[in-house]
Structure 1
Amino acid sequence: MLAALFFAAPMAGAQEPVNPTARSVQEQQLLEALQGGNAISGRVSIPDQRAADLIKPEGRNWSGTHNSTVYWTTTAVVLGMLALLTVFYFVRGRIRLEHGFAGRTIKRFNSFERFAHWLTAVCFILLALTGLNLIFGRYVLIPLFGADTFATATQLGKVVHNYIAWPFMLGIAIMLVVWIKDNIPGRIDLDWIKAGGGMLKGGGHPPAKRFNAGQKIIFWSVVLGGAALSFTGVLLLFPQLAGEPGNWQLAQLAHAIIAAVMTAVILAHIYIGTLGMEGAFDAMGSGQVDVNWAREHHSLWVAERDTAVEGEPRGHVAPAE
């Protein structure tokens, strides 16, 4: 009898298995609790009781906005600019010098100015790529390279983004100090804008000083947009400075949308400075531009230099290397 009871007990227990998760909270129960407008909280022993919140209704709203509004806004702005530049290239073609290269150059930017430009440019490209990965990475990298590669790239990108932000801020500050005097808007800029900068059709470029209206738009977009990105970025790095979680969420949304607009602006700037305009890259490459290029695009600036160096060779030019 004892032997029979010994073997029968496990068999009886096996007929009624115990489900260890039967009384656990299911996701649907959490969603139903959130519909009442209350946060789902636990208990913490640290002074900041906000850390006890597991899920908050406004947190889900923010997540939905990030995955919908920010995603589609970034898609429309960035891809829209790429499409516009592609159409512009095939319709207008490359903007070439009307009188060809003169074979003599004139200094446009010194070494320090080019350092400030490339410091800011390289940092922005890294920031843009790592930021865009957070929005599009899961839809692009995971299908192509797998989830593990995406996770590694995103973790590395987070570190790069956090540290590259500081030299980017430095570059913005240097450019503001060095170039603000040449980027004050004036009446001549209105004439340049009315003429479309001479880029929509042939017939010459309107007169411009060291920076034309288009370059001034780029400058102020970078300075003001960079300042906004810096401010919101610091709040994201140090969320305690933002105060309430809602402030942090607002900073994140502003950061993402401003970054998308700046990315579109910089794409246009890169296009004009490389493929779009003949001779433009030399300004930030070697710092020397062809004399004919300078006179066609910045005739008033060349005239000012001629006056400043009166008695020296016209335009203070040197043979092209």
Structure 2
Amino acid sequence: MELIRTVDAMQAHADAARADGQTLALVPTLGALHDGHLALVRRALEAADHVTVSVFVNPTQFGPGEDYDTYPRDLGGDRETLRALDVDTLFAPSVEEMYPYSDDEALPGPLAWVDMVRLDEHLCGAHREDHFRGVTTVVTKLFHACKPDVAVFGKKDAQQYVILQRLAEDLLFDIDIVGVPTVREPDGLAQSSRNEYLDPDEREQATVLYEAVTAAEEAIEGGEQAAEAVVGAMENALAAAPDADVQYAELVDAHTLQPVDHLAPGQEVLAAVAVFFGDTRLIDNTFVQVPASPS
């Protein structure tokens, strides 16, 4: 496995692989890889001849007071993990490489951003100002650096997944955006690098996120069509954790990410929650197909 640190070298490497007739897949990550990330890597290995995993803790998607400085970093461990999976390339650029004018005293950058409208109005976008602008900008940069035919993302970050699908379509990227279902611990908690922040009691309580989205799924599949009742089922589940500070529990259309009041037969919706345990913010969600009307 080749470790590449610069954009120029990554682009040259991708060009050479393409010239050799290979199809390219990219798995963008923040690093501190866990089994959820590895599921993305395995899907990429199925989808293309050549797989690049990027490890870059992107500062522009972290807001003031968030955990950019303390976010888990383990490039050495990530490198060994990826080598064992026969990944072709690890792209691990510096902040200066990805944002080359960030320290320019005369005209500090970045000055160019990739914005997404409407799809970032609710869920995490309503609570993390400019988060998705940072995500769409860095993913665009990674697409240009790594030149993939396929890019693989986790559906645990459901709003991000929908936004990046639309990004690729609207900006005419010739890239297939592939989503992989959430990988969970045996008790249902979605795997996340931030889980390591939890103390034992918080970790035990954190299963309420999965219980909440499961309650929403069961209500919808059981025929409930009132969004208020589905959200209420999620809120009731979250209330079982005494230390949970609920940021949101919402039900939105899975394609527009706009709130729904009444569920239409055949509609796909997204039930999503975000909860703080102390300073640790966790999310979970589920995509649900509303049952068709009885024939």
Tell me which interval the TM-score lies in, with the shorter structure as reference length: under 0.3
Higher relative contact order (CA 8 A, sep 6+): 1
Q: Give the helix-richer structure, 1 or 2.
A: 1
Normalised to the residue count of structure 2, the TM-score between the two structures is 0.24
Q: For the pair shown, which has the larger CA radius of gyration, 1 or 2?
A: 1
Q: Give the strand-richer structure, 1 or 2.
A: 2
